[in-house]
Amino acid sequence: MADVGLPVDEVYEPPARVRDGALVADMETYREMYRRSVEDRDAFWREMAERFLTFSKPFDRVVEEDLRTGTIAWFIGGKLNASVQCIDRHLAARGDKTAILWEGDEPGTNRRVTYRELSEMVNRLANALRRRGVRKGERVAIYMGMVPELAAAMLACARVGAIHSVIFGGFSPRSIRDRVDDSRCKAIITQDEGRRGGRAVPLKANVDEALAEPGHSVEFCIVYRHTGTPVNMVAGRDEWWHDAVANESTDCPPEEMDSEDPLFILYTSGSTGKPKGVLHTHAGYLVHVMCSHKYVFDIREDDIYCCAADVGWITGHSYIVYGPLGNGSTTVMFESIPTYPDAGRYWDMVDRLGITVFYTAPTAIRAIAREGNDFVKKYRRTSLRVLGTVGEPINPEAWRWYFNVVGEGRCSIVDTYWQTETGGHMITGLAGATPMKPGSGSLPFFGVQPCVVDEEGRELEGNGVTGRLCMKASWPGMMRTVYGDHDRFVQTYLTAYPGKYFTGDGCHRDKDGYYWITGRVDDVLNVSGHRLGTAEIEGALVGHPAVAEAAVVGYPHDIKGTGIYAYVMLKAGYTASDELAKELRDAVRREISAIATPDKIQFVEGLPKTRSGKIMRRILRKIAEGEPENVGDVTTLADPAVVREIIAGAGQAR
């Protein structure tokens, strides 16, 4: 989006009905709590951990950190298990409360899973995993669609101390295999098929293809039957979920975990190389996501809370599964997409389920806003109190539509800035307290110490500054390492500005101390809120026999936020054509996922390079953005004529 990150001079106060009775109901309370959370950090987080978690053995010390070596530990010495936090301790008072309210792909197909039922599902599956030899510290991949059993599978892994690695259902067999190999997963939990927008997603078939070549670590697969479509079952390897749990007891003693024992790995794209396995732990992560879920959305006991993301991404881990279930909330799991069967789907669901807190991404808001207001007005939406946005900067126009048309000025909007690596919210408003500015994530969450640095790493003090966003100290939900590659963790996040965590984002801090995220300053693209590395996409393109070299950049896209623009140089003997462009798109889909498909492919004779051979992406970005006049100085290039040729050919991008 062209207009993101530029401060707008508009302030909206939280509506009275959101303020009334809110946990944090005014800015004085926020400021006082925030001050304590950084000035008296240990005491603040000790109190939060004791309030939000139930330890079987209390922790001895709150935190130990060294941001240079990447040694980070919270709630040291404590013992607990995340599945107990999310289930067992709710059973006495909330056994019959709906834990997961499932809305299937077809409007109105619902399932209510109570905390007691969820407990039974999780315990049975945990016993089945243990019986099949899954032990503490071993990795289990989960490749499923948005069904309650996905959450149950995650919690069952946690219960036996296994580290789950959820792989988004939109990823290709190749991507599954890369992830399974990287962390040597012992098992895969999957389902026959997923459903999305009326279409089938061949989950089991993709797993079969991922495991077709020998040499993998997977000993068995458990397959949940969802649509009932026949799938291939490999004898000795694959078992139906229903059969595997049939004779298991509903009581599975939880593994006692250390605060710092790993809970899960989630792969995410960076500027270089293959996606890395971001690792989160049992105690710190849970405190952070529960505490932020509660305070940011101002969660109350009878809320019907809905985060419309997919559990395959961090948003779903933290704010569909662990945060809400940890807090004993009713969490909606939405299997479909915002435009199925039409652009009114969200609001139809809000009315039918009585949703009070609704959390989605700017790309979804833009996609339905352009279909017109009638799709919103058809529904009452009176249950809504809080609206949330996440995943990318929201352009003020989309923000105003969300606030005025969807919320009719009666709801607060919380714009939550965070990352896979941060585990939970970092910069965000609190629904009942924070005055809102359209397009700004507003202020730091408790315990979060952001700073803005210039390119040399000097911290820019005061307000009205622009630079790169870093964190000065760790927070409980911070990632602990890159699975199997601690050096990469230190290199990627802790080396650019020694002693600080670098987010990869640019930002502006305005006169009131509000943060405006301007987007990634590295080679990471945020396409419809999905994170992709340009290097990964280039790798997939170069894998095609016709391609000699490829360079991928982002450009502003009305719906996706960022679109994917690929410059492709062919090998001698190949000629540019629409068919070849299609083949290249298919190759990216096959290697990575449909979400990584280039929007535009431009065939070029050469790429702009420095004399030392480095591709000048700055130039390619300007051309992709449609601003060739701003390419700047090209005289230092090995062959400046290349730039003229690319500019001339930009109109033929296909």
Residue 495 marked in a binding site: no
Q: Which stretch binds ligand WT7 (CB under 6 A): 69-77, 210-218, 237-245, 386-394?
A: 386-394
CB of 361 to ligand WT7, least distance (A): 8
**In the complex with ligand WT7, which residue's Cβ is closer, 390 or 596?**
390
Question: Residue 248 to residues 115, 121, 244, 425: CA-CA distances in angstroms?
Answer: 18, 10, 8, 38
Largest CA distance in the chain: 74
Task: Choose between 391 and 407: whose C-beta lies nearer to ligand WT7.
Answer: 391
CB-nearer residue toward ligand WT7: 67 or 517? 517
Rounded Cα gap, residues 537 and 268, in angstroms = 14
Give the CB-side neighbour count of residue 220, counting CA atoms within 13 A. 16
Per-residue string for binding with ligand WT7, 419-458, x by CB under 6 A? xx--------------------x-----------------
The CA-atom distances, in angstroms, between 625 and each of 220, 320, 540, 628 are 48, 35, 23, 8
Q: Are strands 262-268 and 257-258 parallel, antiparallel or unpaired?
A: unpaired
Q: CB of residue 207 vs ligand WT7: minimum separation in angstroms?
A: 23
Dihedral sign for Cα 499, 502, 508, 514, please: negative
184 three-state secondary structure? coil
Cα separation of 461 and 132, whole Å? 56
505 is in an annotated binding site: yes
Which range binds ligand WT7 by CB under 6 A, 93-101, 144-152, 410-418, 623-631? 410-418
649 is in an annotated binding site: no
Question: What is the signed CA dihedral for 643, 649, 650, 654, rounded to 10 degrees?
Answer: -140
Of 259 and 268, which CB lies nearer to ligand WT7 in the complex structure? 268
| Residue 410 among known ligand-binding residues | no
Helices (H), 263-383: 283-296, 314-316, 323-326, 345-353, 362-369, 374-377
| 140 lines the binding site for ligand WT7 (CB under 6 A) | no
**Helix (H, G, I), strand (E, B), or coil: what is residue 249?**
coil
- Decide: is 416 part of the binding site for ligand WT7 (CB under 6 A): yes
Nearer of residues 520 and 622 to ligand WT7, judged by Cβ: 520
Interacting residue with ligand WT7 among 18, 167, 279, 390 (CB under 6 A): 390
> Cβ contacts of residue 289 below 8 Å, gap of 6+?
318, 319, 322, 323, 326, 423, 424, 477
Task: Decide if residue 268 touches ligand WT7 (CB under 6 A).
Answer: yes
Residue 620 in contact with ligand WT7, rule: CB under 6 A: no
Instruction: Determine, following the binding rule CB under 6 A, whether residue 562 of this chain makes contact with ligand WT7.
Output: no
Supply angle C-alpha 305, 101, 116, rounded to 5. Answer: 110
Residue 227 · residue 260 · CB < 8 Å: no
Task: Return the number of the residue (115 or 297) whose C-beta is nearest ligand WT7.
Answer: 297
With CB under 6 A as the contact rule, the residue among 517, 532, 584, 624 that binds ligand WT7 is: 517
Question: Cα(565)–Cα(563) distance, rounded to whole angstroms?
Answer: 7
Contact call for residues 584 and 544 (beta carbons, < 8 A)? yes
Burial of 225 (0-12, 13-18, 19+ CB in 10 A): middle
Of 276, 520, 544, 622, the residue at the interface with ligand WT7 (CB under 6 A) is 520
Site for ligand WT7 (CB under 6 A): which residue of 100, 244, 314, 343? 314
| Number of chain residues interacting with ligand WT7 (CB under 6 A) | 22
Q: How far is the CB of 469 from ligand WT7 (least distance, A)?
A: 8
3-state SS assignment for residue 263? strand
* C-alpha–C-alpha distance, residues 263 and 503, integer Å: 22
- Give the one residue of 161, 284, 504, 533 binding ligand WT7; rule: CB under 6 A: 504
Question: Considering only 388-396, 493-501, 601-609, 622-630, which stretch makes contact with ligand WT7 by CB under 6 A?
Answer: 388-396
547 is an annotated ligand-binding site residue: yes
- Is 196 annotated as ligand-binding? yes
- CB nearer to ligand WT7: give 524 or 584: 524
Question: Among the residues of 420-485, which ranges form H helices?
Answer: none
C-beta closer to ligand WT7: residue 129 or 478? 478
Judged by the rule CB under 6 A, the positions of this chain that interact with ligand WT7 are: 268, 314-315, 390-393, 415-420, 441, 503-505, 517, 519-520, 526, 531
Report the binding-site residues for Mg(2+): 542, 544, 547
Report the binding-site residues for CoA: 196-199, 315, 528, 589
Report the binding-site residues: 196-199, 315, 391-393, 505, 520, 528, 531, 542, 544, 547, 589
